[in-house]
């Protein structure tokens, strides 16, 4: 089964959120769904998380 690095993007009212996940799937659509499920599992797990890196650009 191929491995994919999937980047999901959500445009929110006050910013854009990216989720990047490595998954194995039969095709790109299945890989995107698998990445969504990983995100949902992470957010539902109750484990605390925080941002640990950033990138800044001047406009």
Does a structural domain hold residue 56? no
Our count of domains for the chain comes to 1
Find all residues with CB under 8 Å of 20, minimum gap 6, and list them. Answer: 5, 6, 7, 8
Which pLDDT score, from 0 to 100, does residue 44 have?
A: 80
Instruction: Report which of 33, 44, 11 is spatially closest to residue 21, judged by C-alpha positions.
Output: 33
**Burial category of 52 from C-beta neighbours within 10 Å (exposed 0-12, middle 13-18, buried 19 and up):** exposed
Do 38 and 23 meet the contact criterion of CB atoms below 8 Å apart?
yes
Does a structural domain hold residue 19? yes
Does a structural domain hold residue 55? no
Does a structural domain hold residue 57? no
Structural domain boundaries enclosing 22 = 3-44
Which pLDDT score, from 0 to 100, does residue 45 have?
A: 72
Does a structural domain hold residue 52? no
Model pTM? 0.79
Which pLDDT score, from 0 to 100, does residue 27 have?
A: 96
Per-residue model confidence as pLDDT tens digits over 1-59:
999 999 999 999 999 999 999 999 999 999 999 999 999 988 887 667 778 888 889 98
Does a structural domain hold residue 29? yes
């Amino acid at each position: 089964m191929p491995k994919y690095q999937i980047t999901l993007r959500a445009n929110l009212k006050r910013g854009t959120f990216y989720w990047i996940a490595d998954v194995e799937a039969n095709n790109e659509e299945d890989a995107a769904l698998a990445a969504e499920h990983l995100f949902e599992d992470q957010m539902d797990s109750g484990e605390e998380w925080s941002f640990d890196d950033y990138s800044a650009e001047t406009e």
